Amino acid sequence: MPSFEPIYIETHKKGLLKKKIKKAREIMKACVLCPRKCAVDRFSGELGVCRTGEKALVSSYHQHYGEEAPLVGKNGSGTIFFTFCNLLCIFCQNYDISHEGEGEEVTDRQIAGMMINLQDLGCHNINFVTPSHVVPQILSAVEIAVEEGLNVPLVYNTSGYDRVDTLKLLEGVIDIYMPDFKFWDPEVAGLTCNAENYPEIARKAVIEMHRQVGDLVIDESGIAKRGLLIRHLVLPGGLAGTRDIMRFIANKISKNTYVNIMPQYRPCGRAYEVKELSESLSTEDFKKALKMAEEEGVTRLDMRRRAFVLW
């Protein structure tokens, strides 16, 4: 097998990365990076839904061993957790970070330093967690890091609430897209995130991500190099619309899509505001979700988490 080179290296060599950075920063003057379209001037200190100005905020960065098997390998996934969020689910399991703003403001150069440090630790990839509102800062940090020797895949770990126009800026930069597909029902999305358009946005976003990178490619050592990996958190009471989402993945994306059907829902944040979300997910509901996926033709599942829950 030929040696792997992350896609952003060639993009940088062609001078395209610098153009992407300029375009992304222009958008921040009346920010419509995400579907919220707040249109605030982030350079002037105006804050929209994501409460993030010119500089990104980071809550932590480290080797992470709790991600999907193809990302973790032996040395972990190099995760950078960005503070705040553009979706703001009321049940977020990182509520202190996404809603309450735990983290510190950082420069693009500092983000680049985190990336190089994680690579030096042996991480198999750089995993940007909750990146939708800080795409310009990420692009700028990647440019700096490439010049300092960055050469591992980049993972875009997102809620799925992403504008296609912004995702196109990431084409040729992101190697692995890892969106969550959270809800199928607009009413549920409105109730939990004040984003009734989430299902429509997520469908378009996932289609664009797959167009860019295709199905997940895993090397002979079991490490993901490029492609799409979809997460789906199963919610109590069938609120996530699992069957419809699995059918969409199989029919509109690819039956070879790598999917992590996640069982770890528990009430966090303001989950108590919705009766069905006030209890943890039952093993029975999770088993039903796995069966739905199989029945709809989605069978390339992240097996490690699946085995963990059913033991």
pLDDT in tens, 157-192: 999 999 999 999 999 999 999 999 999 999 999 999
3 state SS of 101: coil
In whole angstroms, give the CA distance from residue 164 to residue 161: 10
User: In this structure, what token pair is assigned to residue 109?
Assistant: 């150069």
Is 50 exceeded by the pLDDT of residue 27? Answer: yes
Letter for the amino acid at 161?
Answer: Y
Q: HSE (CB half, 13 Å, CA atoms) of 171? A: 14
User: In this structure, what token pair is assigned to residue 212?
Assistant: 């860019």
- Percent of the chain exceeding pLDDT 90 equals 96
In whole angstroms, give the CA distance from residue 2 to residue 116: 24
**Among 245, 248, 124, 99, which Cα is nearest to 175's?**
124
User: 226-237: per-residue pLDDT in tens?
Assistant: 999 999 999 999
Q: HSE (CB half, 13 Å, CA atoms) of 71? A: 31
User: In this structure, what token pair is assigned to residue 65?
Assistant: 């061993």
What's the gap between Cα 17 and its chain centre? 21
**Among 196, 191, 295, 204, which Cα is nearest to 242's?**
295
What is the biggest distance separating any 2 CA atoms in the chain, rounded to whole angstroms?
53
Domain 7-46+60-310 bears CATH identifier 3.40.710.10:
no
pLDDT, position 142: 98
User: How much is the average pLDDT of 209-235?
Assistant: 97
In whole angstroms, give the CA distance from residue 233 to residue 36: 22
CA 100 vs CA 50, 103, 128, 269: distances in Å: 11, 9, 19, 10
In whole angstroms, give the CA distance from residue 114 to residue 52: 19
User: 109-162: per-residue pLDDT in tens?
Assistant: 999 999 999 999 999 999 999 999 999 999 999 999 999 999 999 999 999 999
Q: If you compute the radius of gyration of the chain from its CA atoms, what whole number of angstroms results?
A: 18
Q: Give the dihedral of Cα atoms 238, 244, 249, 251; nearest 10 deg.
A: 160
Q: Enter the pTM of the model.
A: 0.96
CB neighbours of 26 closer than 8 A, spacing ≥ 6? Answer: none
pLDDT, position 4: 85
**Among 229, 132, 243, which Cα is nearest to 184's?**
243
| Tally of CB atoms within 10 A around 71 | 27
